[in-house]
Amino acid sequence: MVDVSDSTDIEDGERKLSGAGLAGTNLERAGGYNQRVTLQAIRINGPVTRSELVELTGLTGPAIANITRRLLDTGLIENIGRVQGARGQPAMRFAINPDGRFAIGLNIDRDYVTMVAVDFYGRIKARATTNRKFAMPDEVGAFFRDNLELFFIRDGIPRSKVMGVGIAVPDDLGTIESNDRPPAYEAWAGYDLREMIHAVADYPVFIENDAAAAAIGELQFGHGLQSSNFLYLLVTSGLGAGLVVEGSYFRGAHGRSGELGFLPVSSPLTKAKTLSEVVSVAGLKSHMASRSHPLARLADVEGLQGAAKTACDEWLSLAVEALTGPIISTVYLMDPDAVYIGGRLPRSLIDRMVASLNDAIAARGVKIPPSFRVASAALSADAPAVGAAIMPFSDMLLPNRASLMKAVAAD
C-alpha cells in the first residue's frame, strides 16, 4: 500500500493568511496536513485549478504546486485537461481519481451483516449482505473472508489500492437486551475484531459504533459537506445517533454520545419503555406483528394496503410522537443545522417520517432557528457499512482534528 502522507517540512513562506473554514496550517512539518486540506478542497470543489486551490486553502502557489504534484504521483488526483484563461497558458484542472484508493466497510448487527467496497468518491463498488440473525463471530469471519475474495476477483477491486477495513458495530453487541438473543451470542463481548480481519488480510482496521460510522460517512461524503453541525439518527435493529459538532464527530466523556435509544418513553399508546423500542426496525416489526400483519421483509412496507397499511401508519405516528420531544431538546442544547435520518427503513418511509416530524415540530409552536430542518440522510440504507469504509480515508487522507493535532505535536 502506498503511503501518501507527506513527511517533508513545509518550505518557508508556504502558508498564506486565510479565514476560517477549509484552510492549511503554517506549522513546520505539517505538510501532511496541508496535503489533506488540499485533497479535501479538490474532492469537494473539483475540477479546480491551482489558482483556485490557493484561494480555497490559503496556501501559497508554490505550496499548491508541490502538493498537487505529489497527489498526481500517488494517483489520488488526476489532471482532466486545461481551461482557457484570459491570458497566459491554459490552467490545468484537477479532480479526484475515484479509482485511486478503495476501502472496505463491514457492518455487524443483530439481524444482518453487510459488507461494501467503496471508491474515493464514496460510491459502493461491491456489496454483500446476509440476513443471518445473531450471526456468531466465526460466521462473520467466514462471511468477510469469502466476500473479500469475491470483491477482488469478481468485482475487480485492486488489492494494492485498498487502504483499510472499517467495522461498524452497535455498542454492547453481545450483551444487548433481546428476548430471543441466544446465550452463545455473548461471545461477541470482548471479541477481537481486529484479529478477525488480520486472520484474512493485513490491512489497517478501524472500529466504530454503527451510528458514529454513519455520521462520519455523512460528514465526509453526504450532507456534511454543507453542514458542519448535525445529529444523525440511525434506524436499524435499534436506534442510535451520531453527533457532529463544528465538522468533527463528538464522542463525549465516555465515548457514548448519541445514545438517544435509551431515552425513556411513556405513552398510553405503546408498552415500549425506551425510544429504541419504538423507533427501530425491531419496533416496526413488533408493532406490525401485534396487529396481525407481520413483515417478512422490510421492503414489503412499500406495497402495504388496507389494514396492513393502517398498522404501518400507526407505527409511524408513534415514532414521530416519540421523536419530536428529543429532537426539539437537541435543537435547544446543540443548535444544529439539521437532524438527518437514515438507516434500514425503506427510503419512502424515512421521507414520510421526516415530513411528519417537521410538521409535528412546527405544530408545537416552539421557537427554533428558521433554517433548522429534519431531513433524510444522503447516506441511508448502507450508511454504517459505507461510513465504516470511509474511516480509513478519513484517518489517512482527509483533514480532521486528530491529523491537525499530530501536526501541532510535530512542531
Q: For the segment 320-337, what is each residue's pLDDT rounded down to a tens digit?
A: 999 999 999 999 999 999
Mean pLDDT of the chain: 88
Residue holding cell 443548535? Answer: 335
Q: Which residue has the higher pLDDT, 86 or 230?
A: 230
CATH of residue 302's domain is 3.30.420.40
Residue 355 sits in the same domain as residue 392: no
As for how many domains the chain has, the answer is 3
pLDDT over 80 at 30, yes or no: no
> Would residue 258 count as lying in a domain?
yes
Q: For the segment 61-92, what is each residue's pLDDT rounded down to a tens digit?
A: 999 999 999 999 999 999 998 776 556 667 89
Question: What pLDDT does residue 361 have?
Answer: 97
Residue holding cell 498564506? Answer: 16
Question: What pLDDT does residue 22 have?
Answer: 52
% of the chain exceeding 90 in pLDDT: 74
Q: For the segment 344-393, what is each residue's pLDDT rounded down to a tens digit?
A: 999 999 999 999 999 999 999 999 999 999 999 998 789 999 999 999 99
Question: What pLDDT does residue 179 have?
Answer: 72
Residue 342 sits in the same domain as residue 315: yes
Question: What pLDDT does residue 358 have?
Answer: 98
Q: How many helices (H) and strands (E) does the chain have?
A: 12, 12
Residue 371 sits in the same domain as residue 391: no
Q: Which residue has the higher pLDDT, 404 or 187?
A: 187
Residue 277 sits in the same domain as residue 329: yes
Average pLDDT score over residue span 274-299: 94
> Would residue 248 count as lying in a domain?
yes
pLDDT over 60 at 14, yes or no: no
> Would residue 264 count as lying in a domain?
yes
Average pLDDT score over residue span 386-410: 76
Residue 373 sits in the same domain as residue 227: yes
- Report residue 408's pLDDT band, with 50, 70 and 90 as the boundaries: very low
What does the buried/exposed string (b/e) look like for 316-337 if buried means 16 or more CB atoms within 10 Å of the residue's CB?
bebbbbbbbebbbebbeebebb
pLDDT over 60 at 167, yes or no: yes
Question: What pLDDT does residue 402 have?
Answer: 58
CATH of residue 2's domain is 1.10.10.10
Q: Please state which of the ranges 75-89, 155-169, 199-213 shows the lowest mean pLDDT.
A: 75-89
> Would residue 204 count as lying in a domain?
yes
- The whole-angstrom separation of Cα 161 and Cα 47 is 23
Residue 37 sits in the same domain as residue 132: no
- Report residue 26's pLDDT band, with 50, 70 and 90 as the boundaries: very low
Contacts of residue 134, defined as CB under 8 A and 6 or more positions apart, other chains included, come to 110, 111, 180, 181, 182, 185
> Would residue 130 count as lying in a domain?
yes
> Would residue 406 count as lying in a domain?
no
Residue 117 sits in the same domain as residue 205: yes
Question: What pLDDT does residue 172 have?
Answer: 85
162 is in which domain, residue-wise? 102-209+385-396
Residue 228 sits in the same domain as residue 337: yes
> Would residue 411 count as lying in a domain?
no
Residue where a domain terminates, one of 46, 66, 97: 97
| In contact, 410 and 27? CB cutoff 8 Å | yes
- The whole-angstrom separation of Cα 304 and Cα 97 is 43
pLDDT over 90 at 267, yes or no: no
Question: What pLDDT does residue 256 have?
Answer: 86
Other residues' Cβ atoms within 10 Å of the Cβ of residue 367: 8
- Report residue 15's pLDDT band, with 50, 70 and 90 as the boundaries: very low
Residue 361, all three cell numbers: 415540530
Average pLDDT score over residue span 160-165: 97
Residue 90 sits in the same domain as residue 108: no
pTM recorded for the entire structure: 0.86
Residue 72 sits in the same domain as residue 155: no
Residue holding cell 484552510? Answer: 23
Residue where a domain terminates, one of 44, 66, 97: 97
Q: Please state which of the ranges 191-195, 232-236, 407-411 shows the lowest mean pLDDT.
A: 407-411
Average pLDDT score over residue span 157-179: 90
> Would residue 301 count as lying in a domain?
yes
Residue 135 sits in the same domain as residue 43: no
Residue 344 sits in the same domain as residue 248: yes
Question: What pLDDT does residue 23 have?
Answer: 54
